[in-house]
Amino acid sequence: MRVAALGLTLALLTPVLPATATPPVELTTATADLASYVDPFVGSRRDGNTWPGAVRPFGMISWSPTSTRGDQTSTGAANGYQYDVPRVRGFSLTHVNGAGCNPGAAGDVPILPYAGEVDSSPTGDTTDAKYANNFSHDEESARPGRYSVKLDSGVSTDLAVTTRAGVGEFAFPAGKPANLLFRVSNSLNGSEDAEITIDPAGRKVTGSVLTGAFCGRRANGGINNRKSYYRLYFSATFDQRIVASGTWKDRVLSPGSLHTTGGEGYATGADRAGKGSGGYVGFAPGSAVRMKIGISYVSLAGAELNRAAELRKNATVDQVATDGYRQWNDELKAVRVTGGTTDQRSTFYTALYHAMLQPNIFNDVDGRYLGSDQRIHRLAKGQRAQYGTFSGWDQYRAQIQLLALLKPELAGDYAQSLFHFAQQNKGIWDRWLHNNGATHVMTGDPSAPTLATFAAMGVRNFDALGAYRSLLRQATVQNPEAENDGGCPGQCTGQRPALDRYVDLKYAPQDACHCWGGAAETLENSLADHSLAMWAKRLGEPSAAMADRGTWWRNTFNPAVGYQQARSADGSWVPGFTPSTDRGFAQGTSATYTWMVPQDVSGLAQAMGGPDTAARRLDGFFHDEAGNWAVKGGSPVRYDPGNEPGLHTPWLYNALGTPWKTQETVREIVDTVYGVGPSGLPGNDDLGTMSAWYVFAAIGFFPQTPGRAELLLGSPLFPRVELRRGNGVRLVVEAPQTSDANQYVQSARLNGRVHTSSWLPESYLLRGGRITLAMGPSPSSWGTAPADRPRDY
C-alpha cells in the first residue's frame, strides 16, 4: 500500500468529499453464524504460539495436540503445537494461549490413542519416538469448541469440551490394538510428581500431576518456594470394557499394574529422557471408544464432580460440540460487523476468539478453587467465578481493555480474583500468574493499570476501594516478601522490588533495582502510578503524590541523546548507549521504550523538541531511511508489531496533531502483518494481547492510556460495527465509505453532532453512542487543531 508523502503539510490537507458508496449488505443478524469465521489455526506457526484444540470461552479445559519431548518429537513450540511439525504424542488437557517461551506452560496430561502393542516404556530417547504419530493437515479440522484429526496410524480422534470437562471419541482401525496412553508426568514444563490409578471394573482412569515451573523456571516456578505450583486432577470414564492395562515409571514398563507414581523433574531435552510415569488402558481391537473426562485444580472428587455436572451420562462429541459452538456464537455476537471481505471477517472474529481464551475459570462447579497460598478457598459472596492466569505485562496494553469493554461483569470477577490471589500471597500482586501461582516474570506493576482501567471503563462488581488501597500499599511500602527469592535472575523478583531505592532516587537504578532493566522498570512504574492517581480521583482518595510519580519517566529520559537510557544509582548514565540497545529494557530497545509514555505524550514531545519534531521522529520509527514502510519488525530501532512495549505507538500521532498518520499507519499494520492462516499473527499472541490489538484497530478506536476510558480514533476497517457491552450499553462505529482507497477520516459526527476531536470521551464508552466517520482517499485537516488533540491527564 502506498501512502502520502512524508513532507505533506497541513496547508495541503484539504478535505476530500467521499465517493458515494453502495450500502453494505448486513452480514451479522441476530442469527448470524459468526463462529464460522473463526479459524483456530491462525497463529499456530511458531511465532504466534496459538493452538487449535477444543475450548469454551474462558474455559478451564482446553484439549489440544501436544508434540514435544525428545529430539524425535520436539516442535520447539511453547504450547506443544507447531503447524509445520504435524506430529502428535498426545492430546493435552490444558494450554496457555500464545505464551512466548519454550518450554512453555501447562500442556498437562497428554493422552495418546495408540494402535500398537505397548511393549516398552513410552518414556526415553528411543522408545519415545515410537509412541508418537504423524498426521496430515488434510485429515485435521478445528472449529470453536471442537478438534478432529486422523493420525497416520489410522486412529481418528474427535474432541469436544465444556468448561471443565470433555468428550473424546477414538476410532481405531479394524483389527488393530486399541490403547489409550495417559502420560501423566509429561506437562510442558515437566513435573515434580504424578500419579495414575486404573480401575478396569469401573472403566475408569484417575490421576494427577504436580507441576508449575512456568517457562522452565524452576527457581521461581514454585516447587522450591511453594508459591506457584499446582496439582491438576483428572477423572476419565469409558463406554467400552477395559481388557488390558499397565503402567510405566521411567524406563520400566509394568503390564497389568494398576497404579504408579513418579515425576520427571524440570530439566529439558536429554536430561528428561527416560524419566516420568504414566499408564495405559486397552480395549478390544478395532474399538470405537468414547471417553468422558473432567479436571480440577482442587481434588480428584472435584474432577469427578465437574465431569458429572457438565456432561450428561450419554453425552457425545456431536452434542457437546454443538452446544460449544452455540456458546461461542453467543460470545462473538458482542461485536457485529457489516461488510468487509471474507478474509477480513475471518481475521477479525478469530482475533476476538483468541482474546476470549483467557483468563480461565479456575473454580470447580461447587465454587471451590486453589488459592495462591496453596489452600482451598470458596467463591466470595456475589462472585460468580474465580479466574486464573494473568500475563500482566502483556495484557494490560490491549486485552484487558477489550475484556472490560465487552464483558464488564466478567472483568469485575477477574479483578476480584486477582485481589483474592494477592491477599493470599501476603499482599503481593504478582506480574504474571500461571493459574493461581506467582511466577514473577517480566517487569513493572501491571495489576495497577489493569484494575484502574477496569474502574475507568465502568467495571463495578469488585471491591474497588480495597483493591486500590492494596495496590497503593504495594507501590509505596517496601514489602520484604517482594525481594529476590534467590536462585533466579533479577527479573524474577516479586512486586515492587527495591521500592525504597526507587522512591528515593525517583528512578530504578540499573545496578541496584533487582529488575530486568532499570529504564523499563521506571517507565512501567511511572505509568502504573499515573493509573493509580487516576483511580484515586474516581474514589475520592488523595492522588497528588501518585500523579507526581507518573512523571518520573523524565528521570530516565536523557536529553543529551533524546532517548530513554538506563542510569546507575550514582546518577550516571549507563555507558555504551545507542538507540538499539536493550540494556536497561525488557524485551525491547530504547528506540521502542522511549515512546512508552502514553500518559504524557505532550510532555514527551516537549522533551524531544516539540510536537513537530516528535512527529518526524515517529515517522522514522515506522519508515526506513528511504521513507518506505518498515512495520514488520526485525530492526531494533523501528516498530515491532509483534511485541507489547510499542503497541500503543501507532496511535500517538493523534496527540501530535497528525491523526491521518495514525489512520494510515494502523491500516498498514492491519493489512500487512495480520491475516488468515497459520502465519496470521505478527508475534506471540500473549494471552490474546496481539489479537485484542487487531480487534481495536479494525473497529477504528484504541484506548488512549491505562487508567482512563477515552478512545483514540483511527481508520475503521468495516463500514459498520456494533458493540453490545455485557451491561447493556450499545456502541456503534460507522464509516460507510471506508475501503483500502478511502482510509482517511474527513469529518465525524458523535450522536449526530459535529465531532472535530480525534478521540472519544469516556461518556461514549460508559453511556453508549454512535460515532459516524466520513472517509476519503487523502489526508484531511480533521482532528489536527491543538484543541482537538487528546489531552494528557
Q: How many CB atoms lie within 10 A of CB 244?
A: 17
**Closest C-alpha to 189, from 297, 298, 263, 261:** 263
pLDDT band, residue 356 (cuts 50/70/90): very high
Could you tell me the end-to-end alpha-carbon distance of the chain, in angstroms, rounded to an integer? Answer: 35
Type of residue at 121: S
Q: Which three cell numbers, joined as nine digits, stand for 228?
A: 506457584
Residue 35 has pLDDT above 60, yes or no: yes
Q: Which helix (H) or strand (E) holds 241?
A: none
Interval 604-624: pLDDT, tens: 999 999 999 999 999 999 999
229: Cα within 13 Å, side-chain hemisphere: 20
Share of the chain above pLDDT 90, in %: 80
Sorted by where each starts, the structural domains of the chain and their CATH numbers stand as: 48-330 (2.70.98.10), 335-788 (1.20.1610.10)
Residue 225 has pLDDT above 60, yes or no: no
Is-contact 617 623, C-beta < 8 A? no
Q: Which helix (H) or strand (E) holds 389?
A: none
Length, in residues, of the chain: 793
4: Cα within 13 Å, side-chain hemisphere: 22
Is-contact 445 528, C-beta < 8 A? yes
Burial of 186 (0-12, 13-18, 19+ CB in 10 A): buried
347-to-332, 364, 563, 680, 756 alpha-carbon distances in Å? 13, 33, 36, 8, 31
Q: Which helix (H) or strand (E) holds 202?
A: none
**Closest C-alpha to 291, from 57, 58, 91:** 91
- The neighbouring-strand residues paired with 167 are 160, 292
793: Cα within 13 Å, side-chain hemisphere: 23
pLDDT of 401: 98
d(CA 249, CA 560): 63
Residue 223 has pLDDT above 60, yes or no: no
Rg of the chain, C-alpha, whole Å: 26
Interval 71-90: pLDDT, tens: 444 555 678 898 998 999 99
pLDDT of 438: 87
Type of residue at 567: R
pLDDT of 606: 98
- Per-residue HEC secondary structure of 19-33 comes to CCCCCCCCCCCCCCC
Q: At what angle do helices 408-424 and 447-456 cross, to 10 degrees?
A: 150
**Closest C-alpha to 90, from 24, 42, 151, 12:** 151
pLDDT of 216: 61
In 284-374, at which residue ranges do the beta strands (DSSP E only) sit? 288-296, 335-338, 360-361, 368-370
Looking at residues 202-215, what average pLDDT do you find? 90
Interval 713-723: pLDDT, tens: 999 999 999 99
Residue 267 has pLDDT above 80, yes or no: no
Burial of 727 (0-12, 13-18, 19+ CB in 10 A): middle
Please indicate whether residue 6 or residue 659 has the higher confidence score (pLDDT).
659
Q: How many CB atoms lie within 10 A of CB 448?
A: 32
Q: At what angle do helices 447-456 and 464-476 cross, to 10 degrees?
A: 150
pLDDT of 215: 72
Give yes or no for a cis peptide into 18 (omega within 30° of 0). Answer: no
pLDDT of 483: 53
Residue tagged 465431569 (cell numbers)? 307
Please indicate whether residue 269 or residue 684 has the higher confidence score (pLDDT).
684
Beta-strand pair 759-760/711-713: antiparallel
Share of the chain above pLDDT 70, in %: 90
**Closest C-alpha to 705, from 464, 574, 528:** 528
pLDDT of 124: 62
pLDDT of 268: 53
Residue tagged 473454580 (cell numbers)? 363
Interval 467-504: pLDDT, tens: 999 999 999 998 766 554 433 344 445 578 889 999 99
Q: Which three cell numbers, joined as nine digits, stand for 204?
A: 475408569
d(CA 742, CA 240): 61
d(CA 661, CA 287): 62
Interval 374-405: pLDDT, tens: 999 999 999 999 999 999 999 999 999 999 99
In degrees rounded to 5, what are phi and psi of residue 142? -150, 140
- The neighbouring-strand residues paired with 125 are none
Type of residue at 731: L
Q: Which residues contact 616 (CB under 8 A, 6 or more apart)?
A: none
**Closest C-alpha to 226, from 438, 486, 442:** 438
Q: How many CB atoms lie within 10 A of CB 686?
A: 28
Mean pLDDT of the chain: 90
Is-contact 364 378, C-beta < 8 A? no
d(CA 525, CA 633): 26
Q: How many CB atoms lie within 10 A of CB 423?
A: 18
d(CA 550, CA 792): 11
Is the full-model pTM beyond 0.75? yes
pLDDT band, residue 632 (cuts 50/70/90): confident
Is-contact 259 162, C-beta < 8 A? no
Q: Which residues contact 368 (CB under 8 A, 6 or more apart)?
A: 298, 302, 376, 377, 378
Is-contact 633 641, C-beta < 8 A? yes
pLDDT band, residue 271 (cuts 50/70/90): low
Residue tagged 451420562 (cell numbers)? 313
